[in-house]
């Protein structure tokens, strides 16, 4: 079969606007289907335009979407389906919103899709019954939604092929080279859908296999996509030691928890040295907040002392730090958000992102906000962390929006970016991008309109209270000019 996959780009101007990257799910599914003898092509809109002649001549179209890309993804799925091409959707958003997605596509693969996509293709070839495909949602001939039983998560990742970036149109633009070597997370952050999507049991590729792949592809720079590179410190150390032994001779970046390097006042200097020797030059840290109540609310299991000690230790070892913060917890106040912005400026972080808490489908945080009527729009295009879409507890939505914007501008000053702290050209570019986002976002016409409407909405509406019949669904009209699908997305 000729199979075409599409990953839509996120709309607007956002934290990923400067990055030539894509998620690895579609190149992985492509590699698996290629092994089964199918012809596969992958389009990532962040890398270039989609060739619709190619798409509409396919035997099957697959569209992968996160929440912020859902409206565009539905539009593309419907275009292909209207042309008579079978369409399957997957990804974190439709995993939890299958009923919505089936208005625009024929099939939805929930959670992991490596086995389900092969079985779906076998069904389309007449080799399998659709009822046998676990983790698949679809409509029967009577138009009723059918959700087949859940599929057990994969037992391991080592036997999977590596994602095949050669299948991606424009894949040569992807930089740095992405590597995903683990899935799952044992932690329990309220706002994160990773556990709901991939489970709490961590599955990982054997370190030897990771190093073998790195030696094969010979990258100039690597970004490990793992949600936490040190999800197992034992495995992390083993992988770092192998990379150092093989003298890979390229820098790599990774996401880690700050308490991996400093916990309860104890710095793991041996780990820091091993990170440096293996080539680690930038770490991305989910710090979230420096308000102790917020860290407790988010179930972060890290203290302010861990954050301070970890940042200091990384800075002394020469490893750059990118701090990621989430504004809008129930325990957050305008004062605590200001304190967090000051902390980021004063504690050696090289770059930051301050994003508004976003009620993504599938999380406990979202369930709570929806029950309380605090989510005031389901225009998924706004669910990118740059737009406030719910009522925070101790401020208005507009207050939270302004606090998030101001935090970026207070960190990314001209003095910090252009005159302070000499960095390599590689990292200086990273800071310039942060400066551009911080000082340009609100000047984009669509964002200016959003700010005006959010300000008016916040001043005229009142926050929901428990058991109040005045719920969020009645409060959505203020944002109607900003895109399709306030209550239900539309193509």
Distance CA 433, CA 221 (A): 19
Q: CATH 3.80.30.20 occupies which residues in the chain? A: 176-446
Give the pLDDT score at 271: 98
Distance CA 285, CA 291 (A): 16
Q: CATH 3.40.50.280 occupies which residues in the chain? A: 2-147
Please tell me whether residue 267 adopts helix, strand or coil conformation.
strand
- Location of structure tokens 């902390």: 343
Maximum average pLDDT range among 327-331, 412-416, 417-421, 477-481:
327-331
Question: For the chain, what percentages of helix, strand and coil (3-state, to nearest 5) are there?
Answer: 45, 15, 40
Give the pLDDT score at 18: 84
Report CA-CA distances (Å) from 217 to 78, 163, 210: 37, 12, 11
Give the pLDDT score at 476: 40
10 with 384: CB under 8 angstroms? yes
Q: Check residues 461 and 117 and name the one with the higher pLDDT.
A: 117
Give the pLDDT score at 421: 53
Distance CA 385, CA 441 (A): 12
CATH architecture of 2-147: 3-Layer(aba) Sandwich (3.40)
Give the pLDDT score at 417: 78
Please tell me whether residue 337 adopts helix, strand or coil conformation.
helix
Q: What is the mean pLDDT of the chain?
A: 90
Distance CA 254, CA 240 (A): 12
pLDDT tens column, 65-80? 999 999 999 999 999 9
Give the pLDDT score at 466: 58
422 exposure class (CB count in 10 Å sphere: 0-12, 13-18, 19+): exposed
Percent of the chain whose pLDDT exceeds 90: 79
255 with 221: CB under 8 angstroms? no
Please tell me whether residue 449 adopts helix, strand or coil conformation.
helix
pLDDT tens column, 6-37? 999 999 988 888 888 999 999 999 999 999 99
Give the pLDDT score at 474: 39
Distance CA 420, CA 422 (A): 6
Give the pLDDT score at 469: 37
Mean pLDDT, residues 456-464: 91
| Backbone angle region of 183, left / alpha / beta, with phi > 0 → left and psi within -120 to 50 → alpha | beta
pLDDT tens column, 393-409? 999 999 999 999 999 99
Nearest CA to 355 out of 340, 343, 342 is that of: 340
- Location of structure tokens 């930051």: 352
Mean pLDDT, residues 356-383: 94
Report CA-CA distances (Å) from 122 to 33, 102, 116, 215: 11, 20, 10, 35
Which residues are 177's β-sheet partners? 222
Q: Given pLDDT bands bounded at 50, 70 and 90, which one contains residue 429?
A: confident
11 with 72: CB under 8 angstroms? yes
Q: Given pLDDT bands bounded at 50, 70 and 90, which one contains residue 427?
A: low
Distance CA 231, CA 226 (A): 9
Instruction: Tokens for 70, please give them.
Output: 């859902």
* C-alpha angle 231-8-32 in degrees, rounded to nearest 5: 60
Cα Rg of the chain (Å, integer): 23
pLDDT tens column, 219-273? 999 999 998 999 889 999 999 999 999 998 899 999 999 999 999 999 999 999 9
pLDDT tens column, 302-330? 899 999 999 999 999 999 999 999 999 99
Query: What sign does the dihedral 435-438-441-442 (CA atoms) show?
Result: negative
Beta strands 2-7 and 60-64: pairing type? parallel
Beta-carbon contacts of residue 422 (< 8 Å; ≥ 6 apart): none
Quick check: bond before 119 cis, omega within 30? no
10 with 4: CB under 8 angstroms? no
The pTM assigned to this predicted structure is: 0.91
Q: Where are the alpha helices (DSSP H) in 179-232?
A: 194-198, 207-217
Beta-carbon contacts of residue 278 (< 8 Å; ≥ 6 apart): 239, 240, 241, 243, 244, 248, 252
First to last CA, the chain: 27
Instruction: Tokens for 109, please give them.
Output: 């693969």
pLDDT tens column, 72-101? 999 999 999 999 999 999 999 999 999 999
Instruction: Tokens for 215, please give them.
Output: 């030696």
Distance CA 142, CA 140 (A): 5
Q: Phi, psi at residue 150, to the nearest 5°?
A: -60, 150
Domain 176-446 fold is pyruvate-formate lyase- activating enzyme (3.80.30)
Q: Given pLDDT bands bounded at 50, 70 and 90, which one contains residue 489?
A: very low
pLDDT tens column, 152-211? 999 889 999 999 999 999 999 999 999 999 987 666 655 555 656 665 578 899 999 999
Nearest CA to 348 out of 314, 325, 324 is that of: 314
């Amino acid at each position: 079969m000729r199979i075409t996959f599409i990953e839509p780009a996120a709309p607007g101007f956002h934290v990923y606007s400067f990055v030539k990257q894509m998620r690895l799910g579609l190149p992985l599914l492509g590699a698996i289907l290629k092994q089964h003898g199918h012809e596969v092509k992958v389009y990532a809109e962040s890398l270039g335009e989609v060739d619709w002649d190619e798409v509409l001549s396919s035997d099957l179209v697959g569209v992968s979407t996160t929440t912020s890309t859902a409206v565009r993804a539905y539009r593309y799925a419907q275009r292909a389906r209207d042309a008579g091409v079978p369409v399957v959707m997957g990804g974190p958003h439709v995993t939890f919103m299958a009923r919505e997605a089936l208005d625009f596509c024929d099939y939805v693969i929930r959670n992991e899709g490596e086995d389900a996509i092969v079985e779906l293709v076998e069904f389309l070839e007449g080799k399998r019954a659709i009822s046998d495909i676990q983790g698949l949602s679809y409509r029967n001939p009577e138009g009723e939604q059918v959700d087949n039983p859940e599929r057990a998560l994969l037992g391991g990742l080592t036997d999977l092929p590596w994602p095949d970036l050669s299948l991606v149109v424009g894949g040569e633009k992807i930089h740095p080279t992405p590597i995903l070597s683990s899935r799952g997370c044992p932690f329990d952050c309220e706002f994160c859908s990773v556990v709901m999507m991939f489970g709490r049991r961590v599955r990982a590729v054997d370190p030897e296999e990771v190093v073998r792949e790195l030696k094969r592809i010979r990258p100039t720079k690597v970004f490990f996509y793992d949600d936490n590179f040190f999800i197992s410190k034992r495995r992390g150390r083993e992988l770092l030691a192998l990379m150092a032994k093989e003298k890979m001779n390229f820098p790599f970046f990774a996401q880690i928890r700050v308490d991996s390097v400093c916990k309860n006042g104890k710095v793991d200097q041996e780990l820091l040295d091993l990170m440096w020797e293996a080539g680690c030059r930038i770490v991305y840290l989910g710090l979230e907040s420096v308000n102790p109540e917020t860290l407790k609310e988010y179930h972060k299991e890290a203290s302010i002392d861990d954050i301070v000690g970890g940042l200091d230790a990384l800075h002394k070892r020469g490893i750059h730090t990118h701090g990621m913060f989430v504004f809008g917890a129930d325990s957050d106040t305008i004062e605590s958000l200001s304190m967090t912005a000051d902390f980021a400026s004063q504690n050696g972080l090289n770059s930051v992102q301050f994003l508004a808490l976003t009620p993504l489908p599938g999380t406990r945080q979202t369930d709570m906000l929806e029950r309380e009527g605090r989510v005031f729009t389901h225009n998924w295009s706004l669910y990118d962390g740059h737009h406030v879409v719910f009522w925070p507890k101790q401020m208005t939505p507009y207050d939270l929006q302004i606090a998030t914007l101001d935090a970026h501008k207070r960190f990314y000053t001209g003095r910090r970016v252009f005159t302070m702290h000499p960095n390599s050209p590689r990292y200086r570019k990273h800071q310039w991008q942060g400066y551009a986002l911080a000082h340009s976002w609100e000047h984009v016409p669509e964002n200016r309109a959003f700010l005006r409407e959010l300000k008016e909405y916040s001043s005229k509406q009142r926050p929901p209270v428990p058991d109040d019949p005045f719920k969020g669904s009645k409060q959505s009209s203020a944002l109607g000019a900003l895109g399709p699908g306030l209550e239900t997305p539309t193509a």
